[in-house]
Structure 1
Amino acid sequence: MNLHALRLFYTIATTRNVTRAAEQLNISQPAITAQVKKLEKELGIVLLQPAGRGITLTPAGEDIALLAARLFAVEQQIEQFCGQIQQGQAGQIALAATYLPAHVLLPGWLSRFKKQYEQVELTIHTTNSAEALQLLTSAQVDLAIYGGVPERASEWVEMEELFRDELWFVVGPEHPYANQHISLSQMMQEPFVMREQGSSTRERLLSLCRTHNLPAPSIPLQFNGLYEAIQAVTAGYGANFISSLIVRDEVARGTLCRVYVEGIHLENTISIWTRKHEPLSAAASHFVDLIRSHPFKQTIQ
């Protein structure tokens, strides 16, 4: 079907006058009449009929005009939707987040974003550092939010640092090392409760041991979840090495206690990772801009 001719006919149907339709469309009256005649021949039905000195729609023409109204309304909706996507007002964002930003930072960021961009759909994959990098490099997500840095980055991705927080050794309040200053070798004698392999914080702990030529600590308990590991330490078993953002409230309440390891001061990087030389969608760019303007920097001193 010639949609251009259908639009000409629809304009005649809405104005009920060929001359006014031609003026509105800025084409000649003979041209618009010829196009409608071709449309009638194509469809095999008569759309317009003479009525005195003017024209009127045939019953079939009335029905076609109603269907055309629906068609062009949908066309307008498509144009509006495409415009919203181009402006970042609609669309989809898939992102991966490691456990720290997923639990502590993303809820606030997402709340702010959805209040401003309600039509944008977001899919969040909460996982460890290694899996987040794999999802990003395989284009299964648009960007990744890291608490920590993957041990092996890829030449296909780039990092933008947002801020840093401290990494703390923590134990339960009844632990003999609670609030004490000890050596790293003493700390490494303790059993650790950590996340699964692939966790960047776990890798930082093992790297710390390698740097200081110490044997790796035993990790008799490991969890896939962040808070499960914290709860085990809070209940009185072992130690944890963790971002201060995660446990700052527990330390303030006294349900967890820091262990001050002499000569050790490590920081955790909170960052955004994207694929190099691949522009983000407008919606994803808006989300990144929001994160940049509202980073979470409060830590316990």
Structure 2
Amino acid sequence: MNLHALRLFYTIARTRSVTQASEQLRISQPAITVQVKKLEKELGIRLLRPLGRGITLTDAGEEIARMAHRLFGLEQQIERFCGRVQEGEIGQISLAATYLPAHILLPNWLSRFKKQYEEVELVIHTTNSKEALRLLTEMEVDAAIYGGVPERMPEGVQMEELFRDELWFVVAPGHPYANQHISLVTMMQEPFVMREVGSSTRERLLSLCRTHNLPAPRIALQFNGLHEAIQAVIAGYGANFVSSLIVRDEVQRGRLCRVYVDEVELFNTIAVWTRAEDPLPMGARNFLEMIRSFKPYG
């Protein structure tokens, strides 16, 4: 069916005038008449008939006009829907997040975003850094919110740094090194409580030892969860190497204490990773624009 001709007919049916339809559509009356006659021939039914100096609709024309009203109404709904998708007002955003941003940053970010874009669905995959980049490169998520920097830049992805926070050595308040200044060699003699293999902070600790030609630290306890690792240290066992964002409140409350390791000052990068050649959907772009304005300490 020629939808252009149907639209011309529908405008005639709505205005009950070829003249008014011509003015609205800015198409000459003869051109409209020719198109409607072609539509009648295509459908095999008559849509209009003369009435005095004007026209009226046949019974079939009246019914087709009603169906055309629903059709073009649906067309407008589709256009509005597509416009909202293009503006990022509806749709789905799928994110991978390592444990630091997932537990410390995302709850606030997501709350702020949902207040503005209530109809956008957000799916969050909380995992370690290695798996987060795998989900991104295999196109299972739109972006990855990543705490840390991998030693090797994966192909086909790009990083945008959001901000940096310090990496701290922490122990329980009763530990001999609590609030003390010690050497890295001495610190590495302590048993560590760390996350599983694949954690970016664990990899940073191992990299630190390699840089200073020291043996790898002894990972005496290993947890798959960040909270569990911190709680074990608070309970009095071992040390942890961790983002200050995670333990800052615990240090301020006195439940954990820093160990100041001489000549070691490390920072943790909080970044967004995206696929280099794959433009983000507008919803994800809106989300990233919002979190760019985030200030971690007020």
After superposition, residues 117-156 of structure 1 pair within 5 angstroms as 117-156=117-156
Aligned-partner SS, 1:170: strand
**1:205 partner letter:** L
Q: Which residue of 2 aligns with 1:183?
A: 183
After superposition, residues 1-301 of structure 1 pair within 5 angstroms as 1-297=1-297
Matches of 1:203 and 1:153 in 2, distance apart?
A: 14
Aligned-partner SS, 1:230: helix
Matches of 1:57 and 1:217 in 2, distance apart?
A: 88
Alpha-carbon RMSD: 2.2
Cα distance per residue 1:146-184 (max 9 Å; x no partner): 111123212422222222111111122333333233332
Cα drift, residue 67 of structure 1: 1.9
Aligned-partner SS, 1:247: helix
**1:66 partner letter:** R
Aligned-partner SS, 2:84: helix
Cα distance per residue 1:101-157 (max 9 Å; x no partner): 111122222222233333433322222111122222223222222111123212422
Gaps of 5+ in 1: none
**1:271 partner letter:** A
**C-alpha spacing 1:63/1:220, structure 2 compared with 1 (3 Å):** farther
Number of residues of Structure 1 aligned to a counterpart in Structure 2: 298
C-alpha contact (below 8 Å) 1:133/1:153 kept by paired residues:
no
Matches of 1:38 and 1:157 in 2, distance apart?
A: 54
Calculate the TM-score normalised by the size of structure 2: 0.90
Cα drift, residue 54 of structure 1: 2.9
| Greater CA drift, 245-254 or 229-238 | 229-238
Aligned-partner SS, 2:135: helix
C-alpha contact (below 8 Å) 1:163/1:270 kept by paired residues:
yes
Cα drift, residue 242 of structure 1: 0.5
Q: Percent identity?
A: 76
**C-alpha spacing 1:225/1:58, structure 2 compared with 1 (3 Å):** farther
Matches of 1:100 and 1:186 in 2, distance apart?
A: 27
**2:140 partner letter:** Q
| Greater CA drift, 84-93 or 122-131 | 84-93
**C-alpha spacing 1:224/1:62, structure 2 compared with 1 (3 Å):** farther
Matches of 2:124 and 2:114 in 1, distance apart?
A: 14
Gaps of 5+ in 2: none
